[in-house]
Amino acid sequence: MTAFLVTACTSADTMEYDKDMLEESTEVLIQYCAGADETVTEQWKSLSDYALEYQLMQSGLPFTPEGFIGALDAWPAAIDECGEYMGHGDFAITTEGDEIHVTAMGEFAERDAEIEVVYDADSRLDSLNVSAQYSMGEILEKAGLNTILGMGTVFVVLIFISIIISLMKYIPALGNFFTKKPKKEEAGDASAIEAVEPAASESAGTEDLLADEELVAVIAAAIAAAEGAGTDGFVVRSIRRRPSNKWKA
């Protein structure tokens, strides 16, 4: 292969590259990616880093492991979008910064696409990109779908916000419900206290009654002792306290 160097001038520096080598490498890469299936791709991925780099070095092509595996992964996505690969046109080489871009218009079953292979400043493979070319009708259709999707999302959010606003009228009622609950508990405590007080009064009345019975028994025993008779012959009907005490010593 007869090779010659082409000097490309960029805005800041001068880059040299082998035009024929880049075109040949790009052609080999495209043809290999077009013919490789998922099984072949998985076989390459299963290799160790050393084995992969050794295989690429043996090919004599300036392919880096990352760039080559990335190209194998990118190609199936292009097929899904553009259809089966048919061929491509002439290559065009441009430089941008420290990158070399080799591009060609690719022909696919459903639509054309721009195939771009990027090399670094040392002319080593960096990446492969396939950009589908859509017609004006397809672009407008996509724009319309995106617009509908965006507007639909906005309307859904607005409906959701309106539902939340409509439910806000129930917030005061919920607040009153939770604030009245402690008052009910206080009312329950007051009722418990009132229930305890009558019970205490009844207990005091019971104690007074017991004291009266003891007093009756004592008085009955005193009268029986004074009369010299038993307590069976009389019954104490009632006990009344005199207004004043006129007993004298």
Residue 192: the pLDDT is: 54
Cα angle for residues 158, 147, 154 (degrees, 5° grid)? 10
Residue 175: the pLDDT is: 74
Residue 236: the pLDDT is: 61
Spatial CA neighbour of 120 closest among 4, 7, 22, 5: 22
Residue 14: the pLDDT is: 66
Helices (H) and strands (E) in the chain, counts: 6, 7
Question: Going by C-beta distance under 8 Å and a sequence separation of 6 or more, which residues neighbour residue 15?
Answer: 7, 8, 95, 98, 100, 121
Residue 74: the pLDDT is: 93
- Classify residue 117 by its DSSP letter: E
What distance lies between CA 101 and its chain's CA centroid?
A: 41
For 149-158, b/e burial (b = at least 16 CB within 10 A) is eeeeeeeeee
Would you state the CATH architecture of domain 5-133?
Roll (3.10)
Distance CA 73, CA 67 (A): 10
Q: What is the pTM for the complete model shown? A: 0.54
For the chain, domain boundaries: 5-133
Spatial CA neighbour of 120 closest among 20, 238, 17, 244: 17
- Classify residue 61 by its DSSP letter: S
Mean pLDDT (10-residue bins), the chain, 249 residues: 41 72 95 93 92 91 93 93 93 93 94 94 93 80 85 90 84 75 53 54 52 68 68 62 55
Q: Is 15 left (phi over 0), alpha (psi -120 to 50) or beta?
A: beta
